[in-house]
Amino acid sequence: MPAKSPDPTSSVLLLHWQAHWSSLVAIAVQLVVLCWYLNAARRAGADARRWSPVRTGSFVLGLAAVAYAFEGGIVQYQRDNFTVHVVQILLLVDVAPPLLAIGAPVRLALHSSGRRAHARLLRGLHSRLALAATQPLVAFAVATASLYVYFLTPVYSWTERHPLSLYYVDFHFLLAGCLMWWAVVARDVLPRPPRIGLRFAVLFLSVPFDAYLGIAVGSLSKPLYPAGNTLADTQGGGNVLWGLAEVFIVTAVALLFVEWAREEERKAVRADRQLDAALAAARAAVATPSEPAAGGN
């Protein structure tokens, strides 16, 4: 039996890539998505619909984070080192999704698609499932419940004993993270764009829930998967889960606050311009002499 919770090495984490058939399929899918995005962004620029390079760069970084979490060296420790596995899950839940959301791929698809594809996308966006899934509180509940069920029930040990199920786990966490962060970031087309207050509420709600989960895992008296992880590794993973998740949330709150401040400043500038225009029109009306009545002496 291999040593429990082997220490990760930088050479494996940075240079090792998976060669399993499922990883090769995932790489192929990611390359197709990347090529589509870059080509669609180029076409949008050619049609005078300037596509921000910030969006493109963010989407590429998000896709790179997905690729690393799915096929990179971090996967080598997915079953043997709980702490590293926690980092992998956080990459899929709290790192890749907001980067992908800033890239606004749905908006880009609407810009670059033909009439039929455009109409289908709009129908899908306004379907009952999309309306329900993109509600910020619903998306938050799905993402949070997924983490709690995975780490605080026998689901974790079961997936460790059945390696094929880990592929579903990775995909599920990526999807759950995308649902939540798409609503929080709100840069892409959504059926019902959430108000800024609701977006803040989701982030503030995440703080105690993530903290409690990390503390609960870090306080366990036995490993989550005794056949592969030590107790110290399990408790360390809980601390990492708590600490890193809070760092991501606090960073998101700060960025959202900056966005809100800029939006309020833009509204104030627009209001000032409208007021200045109204005052200028009033002054012009007062300064213009009234025309003499027709036929007067």
CB-CB contact of 102 with 55 (8 Å): yes
Q: How far from 206 is each of 133, 200, 202, 275, 283, CA to CA, in Å?
A: 18, 10, 6, 41, 53
Name the band, by pLDDT with cuts 50, 70 and 90, for residue 44. confident
Report how far residue 233's alpha carbon sits from residue 80's, in angstroms, rounded to the nearest whole number.
10
Sequence-separated (6 or more) residues with CB below 8 Å from residue 280: none
CB-CB contact of 177 with 92 (8 Å): yes
Domain boundaries, the chain: 10-278
pLDDT at 219 over 70: yes
Report how far residue 148's alpha carbon sits from residue 23's, in angstroms, rounded to the nearest whole number.
27
Q: What mean pLDDT is reported for the chain?
A: 87
Which range in 180-184, 192-196, 292-296 is most confidently predicted, on average pLDDT?
A: 180-184
CB-CB contact of 182 with 213 (8 Å): no
pLDDT of residue 118: 82
pTM: 0.86
pLDDT at 106 over 80: yes
pLDDT at 295 over 60: no
CA dihedral 118, 120, 124, 126 (to 10 degrees): 70
User: How crowded is residue 88: how many other Cβ atoms within 10 Å of its Cβ?
Assistant: 23
Name the band, by pLDDT with cuts 50, 70 and 90, for residue 297. very low
